[in-house]
Amino acid sequence: MDLSRFHGVVPAMATPFTADERFDEARTRELIEDYIACGVHGISVAGSQGEFFALDEAEHLRLLEIAVETVAGRVPVYAGTGGVTTRAAVRVTKAAKAIGVDLALVITPYFVQPTQPELVEHYTAIAAATDLPVMLYNNPPRTSVNVLPATLARSMREAPTIVGIKDSSGDVTQSVEYKLLTDRRALLFSGRDTIALSLLVHGGEGTISPAANVFPRLMLKLYDAFRRGDLAEAVRISDIFAPLREAWALGSFPVVIKEAMAMAGRDAGPTRAPVRPLAADRRERLREVVERIAPHEKAA
């Protein structure tokens, strides 16, 4: 299995909705074209920033179809295919394979809190259902489930198509152990922008980045600086992103990213209820952050 395609800056793409909260197919295509024109290395859809939990299954699969059609092989498509049950995740992963995505990005079950052995069974069953590369997605702040490094190692040992993990835990020590404990090369992607550089330093392949929804060129500039060995420049850019990560706390997930996108000229519409728009004072605080970073994006 050729894993060399899976690297770099991949926007954790927000799913566009119209003002009345309908899935906006046209805007989805426009945003994908915009990100590819910026030079991103992949497109990730139907993840947590993409409000997969707010999509019905028909919308979910239509989103994958549009992504595959629009990308047209230019970069890999990472498709969120997770679910609360193994049965649901297998069904969506099989559908994603038929649609033509390049990699299944599978969040842990949420609401339920499976044990580590149950997680191994869950992921190996999903991997056995197709020949798609499967990447585990660890996001304990959202799911209350944490994938331990030994669990990734065992899953990869039992299922050759499990290729690594996207880690949004924020725990750099754990992220490094994912690389150290596996018997074969494990792809490691950051899901938190403030530690994206740290994981690159420790051998990570890239970032599936929320901030790249708003400032893709700047995140690409960080990645390129690291790749050419200019660590000081990469650190400088990483620090520029820090206030945006802090701003996520201004509203319910994931409204802040969508309002920041609109301020930066990449409007993806509202979030679906019950999440509501930011209050006026919080929106102004977010605007200050976006306007502080915007000149760096233009210069990238």
CATH number at residue 89: 3.20.20.70
Residue 223 bears catalytic tag: no
| Pairwise CA distance, residues 289 & 240, whole Å | 10
Q: Domain total for the chain?
A: 1
Listed range (1-5, 107-111, 224-228) with the worst mean pLDDT: 1-5
Q: Flag whether 51 is in a domain.
A: yes
Q: Flag whether 43 is in a domain.
A: yes
Q: Is residue 149's pLDDT more than 90? A: yes
Q: Flag whether 31 is in a domain.
A: yes
Q: Flag whether 284 is in a domain.
A: no
Residue 255 is predicted with a pLDDT of: 97
Residue of 35, 137, 178, 223 marked catalytic: 137
What Cα–Cα distance (Å) separates residue 114 from each residue in 80, 122, 207, 235? Answer: 19, 9, 26, 37
Residue of 35, 78, 123, 166 marked catalytic: 166
Q: For residue 189, what are the domain limits?
A: 8-230
pLDDT digits (tens, 9 = 90+) for 45-77: 999 999 999 999 999 999 999 999 999 999 999
| Pairwise CA distance, residues 300 & 142, whole Å | 32
| Pairwise CA distance, residues 260 & 290, whole Å | 7
Residue 128 is predicted with a pLDDT of: 98
pLDDT band at 3, cuts 50/70/90? very high
Find out whether 104 and 161 touch, Cβ atoms under 8 Å.
no
> How many Cβ atoms are within 10 Å of 73's Cβ, its own excluded?
9
Q: Flag whether 60 is in a domain.
A: yes
Q: Flag whether 298 is in a domain.
A: no
Find out whether 138 and 146 touch, Cβ atoms under 8 Å.
yes
Crossing angle between the packed helical segments 25-38 and 216-227, to the nearest 10 degrees = 30
Is beta strand 8-11 parallel, antiparallel or unpaired with respect to 162-167? unpaired
Residue 67 is predicted with a pLDDT of: 98
Find out whether 105 and 162 touch, Cβ atoms under 8 Å.
no
Tokens of 131: 């020949």
pTM: 0.97
Residue 156 is predicted with a pLDDT of: 98
Q: Is residue 2's pLDDT more than 90? A: no
Find out whether 190 and 204 touch, Cβ atoms under 8 Å.
yes
Residue 137 bears catalytic tag: yes
Q: Flag whether 281 is in a domain.
A: no
Q: Flag whether 279 is in a domain.
A: no
Is residue 66 annotated as involved in ligand binding?
no
